[in-house]
């Protein structure tokens, strides 16, 4: 099973910073990594806007002891299960980092540093 790795995100730093600094926009395509195909898939399962996607991300925080690695892996797995085949790392990173702004300590990328070394070895 493939798991989330923030170092595989293809979102540019500029795009991510802009997304994080701006207010949340309604359109799903305002989330870095979501294009027309992913938007269509999400809308087919009644996730109609970025606020609902953000709420879906939060639903994967299932217990107090969950770290951000487990949380992000569940969301990444959800994207995989519904048929999103492109940009899953980017979508997960974008939503997780945005959530971390609203809910400090929910997402800490340093918890994934063990993956950075593995990713550069591939």
45-100 per-position pLDDT tens digit: 999 999 999 999 999 988 887 788 889 999 999 999 999 999 999 999 999 999 98
Number of domains in the chain: 1
The reply to whether 13 falls in a domain is no
E strands in 22-114: none
94-107 per-position pLDDT tens digit: 999 999 888 877 66
The reply to whether 95 falls in a domain is yes
Q: Is the dihedral of CA 39, 43, 48, 54 positive or negative?
A: negative
pTM listed for this prediction = 0.86
The reply to whether 9 falls in a domain is no
The reply to whether 14 falls in a domain is no
The reply to whether 90 falls in a domain is yes
pLDDT at 8 over 80: yes
Range of 70's domain? 23-121
Angle at 21 between CA 62 and CA 93, to 5 degrees: 40
């Amino acid at each position: 099973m493939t798991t989330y790795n923030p170092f595989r995100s293809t979102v540019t730093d500029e795009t991510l910073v802009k997304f994080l600094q701006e207010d949340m926009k309604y359109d799903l395509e305002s989330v870095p990594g979501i294009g027309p195909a992913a938007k269509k898939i999400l809308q087919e399962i009644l996730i109609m806007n970025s606020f609902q996607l953000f709420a879906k991300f939060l639903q994967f925080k299932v217990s107090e002891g969950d770290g951000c690695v487990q949380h992000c892996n569940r969301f990444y797995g959800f994207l995989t299960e519904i048929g999103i085949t492109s940009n899953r790392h980017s979508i997960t990173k974008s939503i997780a980092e945005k959530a971390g702004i609203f809910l400090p300590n929910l997402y800490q990328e340093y918890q994934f540093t063990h993956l950075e070394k593995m990713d550069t070895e591939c």
